[in-house]
Structure 1
Amino acid sequence: MAEAAPGIHTLGIIGAGRVGSVLIRLAVRAGYRVLVAGSSSAARIAPTVRALGATAVEVAELAEGADAVLLALPLSRHTALPADALRGRLVIDAMNYWWGADGLNDELSDPRTSTSEIVQRFLAGSRVVKALNHMGYQDLEDEARPAGAPGRKAIAVAGDDPADLTAVARLIDDLGFDPVIAGDLAAGIMLEPGAEAFGADIDAAELRAMLQRFPTSQRGIVVARAREHGSGPRS
C-alpha cells in the first residue's frame, strides 16, 4: 500500500459519477482516506460510496476534513462550490467543458483562458491545480500500474505553485500513473477538449512530445492568436 503524498493524507472528491467513482477506487487502493460528496445528500450516496471503501459526507464537512479536494463535477457547477469553505485548500480540477452537460457557454469555451483559470478566479482563496481530466474514465480504471511497470501511462499536471505540483504529482504516481508537469495553470488549456493530449492514453515520453507540439497544433494556433489579440473565435 502506497504512502499518501506529502501534505495529502485525506483526499476529498466532490462528484460521485463515473469519473469520481473511478478516482475513489484508485485513491482507496493507494491507501488514502477518501471523503466523497455528491450532488445529492450524503445519506443517499452513502451505500455506494461505502462499498467503494470511502466515506460519504456533506460538502462542508469534506472541505473541512480533506487535505486536498478533487473536483469531478460538470464544469458549469463549479459556481455552486463553497468558495469560503475551500479557502486555503489545494483544489484539483478534473473537470472539462462539455456543451451537452454545461450548455453553450462563451466563457467556458473562450480560448483566451483555460477553464482551470476560470475555476481559480471563482475559488480565489484556494490553490487550483489541473490534473486527471484528459484521460477517459475507463482508461483511468484499466491502465493504473505500479511505478516502474512497463508501458505505464502518464497524466499531466498544470499549476502555479511548485509545492502543489509536487503534491499532486505524488498523488498521481500513487494512483498508478507517471506524472508529467505541463506548466502553469494557464498551460492547462493543453489538456482540454480540442487539444491533442485530450483523450490520449500514452506514456510520459509521448505525452511530453504532445505538449511540446501544442503551439504548432491547430488548437494551439487558435489559442495563441486569441491570447495575442485579446479576442478570437470561440471553440
Structure 2
Amino acid sequence: MPRTLGLIGSGLIGTSLARLAVAAGMNVVLSNSRGPDTLADLVASLGEGARAATPDEAARAGDLVVVTIPLKAYDRLPVAALRGRTVLDTMNYYPQRDGRLAVLDSSELTSSSLVQRHLAGSRLVKAFNSIGSNQLFTLARPAGAPDRSALPVAGDDETAKQEAAQLLDTLGYDTVDTGTLAESWRSEPGTPVYTKPYLGEPPAGLTPADYFPWFLSTPGVPVPAARVRELVAEAERGRAGGVLPQGAGGSQASL
C-alpha cells in the first residue's frame, strides 16, 4: 500500500480522496494554486495524517500523486517534480469551463493523452474522473463487500495501472481496466459510465435549479465491476467535451 498520497488540487474530488486516504491510514499532502495557508481548515479537519504544501512539494512527497484541477490548467503542472512518478489524472474536458481545445475537439488526442504529453517523464493513469465527489466518498467499501463499486482506469504503463488499482483497493473500490490513454474516452463526460450510474435516479419532479445540489449530496448507488465493464463496452466516441451538471456553472474545479 502506498504510504503517502500527494494531491495537486484540493477541490471536491481532492477533498473526498483525502478523507478516504486518511481513513485508510495513509498520509496526505494537499496543495492548490492559492497556497498552503488556504488549506488550513481542511487540514485541521483531516487530522494528523494530513498537511498542506505547494504543488511542487506535494508532487515530490507522494508515493502516488493525484492531479485534480481544471483541465485548462494542465500545463501548469510541475513537470520536473512529477518526473518518474505515477500520476492519477481525474481531469475532464468541459469546453464551457476550459475553453475549446482543438486537439481534443478533433479527437486527435484524449484529454489524458494531452496531459501525458505535457508530463512526458511521468506515468499517467486516468482515474476517479467518472464519479461525483460525494458518491466517491460515500460508496467506498472494504474489499469483498457485496455492495462494493468499481471505477474505470486507463493508462499506457501496466505497472502504473497496477499501482493505481492498489490505491483504489485501499480507498474502497474495485478496478476495471479500460485500456490505454487513447481509449480513456470510454469514461469521459457523456459516456454511459460517467457519473449517472453512481447517482441512481433523481427524485421525481426535481427542477433544473435543484439538480446540482442533489448531485452533490446524494449518496448514490453501488455499481459493481461487471456493470462497469458493460457500460464501458457500450461507449461510442462522440465529440469531446461533456456538459457540466445542471447548475454547476464554470467554477467547479473537479466534480
TM-score w.r.t. the length of structure 2 is 0.79
Over residues 28-81 of structure 1, what are the superposed CA-to-partner deviations in whole Å (9 max), with x where a residue is unaligned?
111111101111111221232232231101112112211111011111111111
Structural mapping, 1:63-142, within 5 Å? 63-142=59-138
Opposite residue 136 of structure 2, the aligned amino acid is L
Aligned length: 214
| Range moving further from structure 2, 105-114 or 126-135 | 105-114
Q: Is the 8 A contact 2:93 2:240 kept in 1?
A: no
Cα distance, 1:104–1:50 mapped onto 2, change above 3 Å: same
- Please identify runs of 4+ aligned residues in structure 1 that moved more than 6 A: none
Q: Is the 8 A contact 1:159 1:183 kept in 2?
A: yes
Cα distance, 1:195 vs structure 2: 1.2
Out of 36, 42, 48, the position equivalent to 1:48 is 42
Structural mapping, 1:80-229, within 5 Å? 80-199=76-195, 200-201=197-198, 202-214=223-235, 219-220=236-237, 222=238
Q: Is the 8 A contact 2:67 2:88 kept in 1?
A: yes
Q: Is the 8 A contact 1:153 1:177 kept in 2?
A: yes
Out of 22, 26, 32, the position equivalent to 1:28 is 22
TM-score w.r.t. the length of structure 1 is 0.86
- Sequence identity (%): 41
Cα distance, 1:195–1:64 mapped onto 2, change above 3 Å: same
Cα distance, 1:197 vs structure 2: 1.1
In structure 1, stretches of 5+ residues that fail to align are: 223-232
Root mean square deviation, CA, Å: 1.5
Cα distance, 1:234 vs structure 2: 5.8
